[in-house]
Amino acid sequence: LSGCDSGFGQATARHLDIMGFRVFASVLDLQSPGAQELRQSCSARLTLLQMDLTKKEDIQRVLQHIQAHTNSTGLWGLVNNAGFNDTIADAELSPLGKFRTCMEVNFFGSLELTKGLLPLLRSAGGRIVTVSSPAGDMPFPCLAAYGASKAALSLVMDTFRSELQPWGIKVSLILPGYYKTGTTCDPAFWNLQKQRLLASLPQELLQAYGEDYVEEINQQFIQFMKVAVEDLSAVVNSITEGLLAANPAVRYYPGQGLGIMYFIHRYLPYFVRDLFLKGFFINPKLPRALRREQHKDVKKA
């Protein structure tokens, strides 16, 4: 189970431990408050492992540890939960490095871990449960870097689902609504990210879009955070069902409002979908350069 420092990973590790499973829980930092909390609240069956999904040596160390402890039995389940995003901005304003980091953690890291554990999962005819995001299915405004990595993750897991059927391995995707996890709901964190983004933007882009444009996006996102759900049990239950149900669903959608969102996405015209996503999530005002042009047009008229 990856990404157990906080949020879904931490709650799921605790839940599976209470159910009596032997859990290998990976954390970014063994001394983090989340790791300490798991040490105190879980049984001796739970093993905490340090892993940064962007570091090959970390993944290899975790793979070796799990292999050494499950070689005779195989591994029943892998939960790919670790995820990363620290940019809320238009794709044009998001540095290329942010796209790469999202891909490294959310896609390549999870892919490497999954491939490394597949021999153990095959021998047990086990399960792979992966936490993706509706942002990987739909073009949420200002989430391109994160969404692109989750789209790649969803697709590769769907491919595994099809290819691993002969081995008896079942693969499920979890696409949660908006929940309160880790730094995702900390306004101070997002304000700092906004300042860093503004400092890194080329002058021409800053002129075209305007500092107030970036400020407005950040304010709207902080406002949106207030609807984040604190009770993570719907997601934990979906992950648990993916691991234990005789016939788990291919996709789980824990969270409110996802039914209407996917209905609009699948059956209504693109412009309706785009309007809905802006109304639901972030609706940026016009970039500065376009506001100037509009102003000129009004004067001419």
Q: How far is CA 132 from CA 22, 37, 59, 84, 158, in A?
A: 24, 25, 20, 11, 11
Residue 146 known to be catalytic:
yes
Out of 146, 213, 252, 253, pick the active-site residue: 146
User: Can you give the pTM of this predicted structure?
Assistant: 0.94
Question: Domains, the chain, ranges and CATH?
Answer: 7-290 (3.40.50.720)
pLDDT in tens, the chain (301 residues): 999 999 999 999 999 999 999 999 999 999 999 999 999 999 999 999 999 999 999 999 999 999 999 988 899 999 999 999 999 999 999 999 999 999 999 999 999 999 999 999 999 999 999 999 999 999 999 999 999 999 999 999 999 999 999 999 999 999 999 998 876 778 899 999 999 999 999 999 999 999 999 999 999 999 998 888 999 999 999 999 999 999 999 999 999 889 999 999 999 999 999 999 999 999 999 999 998 776 666 566 5
